[in-house]
């Protein structure tokens, strides 16, 4: 898919992590997806697989959705991925759906008011690895091949993030664990 939309992976590490979106994010050399973004979004330009997912989400009962405004594909091949706390652009629309395909994740939702109350903790790697960004955070376990949805206050007043993996262990051997506050969920 990446090659189809103009990504050149001349450097091997670049194929480990890439992003395709129709939103112009001002990143030099980042090609824009042909389906566009916002009021100019054209669903007919989606790949068949993305179109099928979009149609399925739009036709699910219980979600009064307006027109589709954004499809962004983030591809991460490495466990060394993190996403800093952020709120997606308001023009993306009031509903966000995130589909996790090949791997799971723990997505951390943090209220903006709590991040502002203790900005040092929220930006200190050692602090948020061990204790999260704030005491008010909610961790959402996202298994592979699942989708999560957020809207309302979760969409506009809370950030979402993925903390980097914690590593360590005896003799320099690495371990990655889910951050649920205990070592009960160690993955070895």
Greater confidence, 54 or 6?
Answer: 54
Beta strands 83-86 and 17-21 are unpaired
Greater confidence, 179 or 27?
Answer: 27
Greater confidence, 68 or 7?
Answer: 68
Same domain, 46 and 125: no
Phi and psi angles of residue 87, each rounded to the nearest 5 degrees, phi first: -115, 130
Structural domain containing residue 43: 1-78
User: What is the arithmetic mean of pLDDT over 155-182?
Assistant: 62
Beta-carbon contacts of residue 133 (< 8 Å; ≥ 6 apart)? 85, 108, 110, 114, 115, 121, 122, 161, 163
pTM of the complete model: 0.74
**pLDDT the model gives residue 63:** 83
Same domain, 74 and 84: no
Number of separate domains in the chain: 2
Greater confidence, 125 or 166?
Answer: 125
């Amino acid at each position: 898919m990446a090659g189809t939309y103009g990504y050149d992976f001349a450097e091997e590490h670049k194929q480990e992590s890439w992003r395709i979106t129709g939103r112009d994010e001002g990143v030099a050399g980042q090609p824009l997806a042909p389906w566009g973004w916002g009021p100019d979004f054209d669903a007919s330009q989606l790949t068949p697989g993305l179109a099928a997912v979009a149609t399925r989400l739009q036709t699910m009962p219980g979600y009064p959705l307006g027109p589709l405004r954004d499809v962004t594909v983030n591809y991460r091949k490495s466990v060394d991925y993190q996403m800093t706390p952020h709120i997606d652009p308001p023009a993306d629309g009031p509903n966000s759906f995130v589909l996790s395909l090949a791997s799971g994740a723990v997505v951390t939702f943090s209220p903006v008011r709590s991040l502002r109350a203790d900005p040092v903790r929220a930006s200190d790697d050692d602090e948020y690895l061990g204790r999260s960004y704030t005491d008010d955070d909610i961790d959402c376990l996202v298994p592979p091949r699942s989708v999560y949805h957020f809207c309302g206050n979760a969409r506009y007043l809370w950030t979402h993030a993925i903390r980097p993996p914690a590593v360590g262990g005896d003799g320099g051997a690495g371990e990655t664990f889910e951050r649920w506050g205990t070592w009960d969920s160690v993955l070895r």
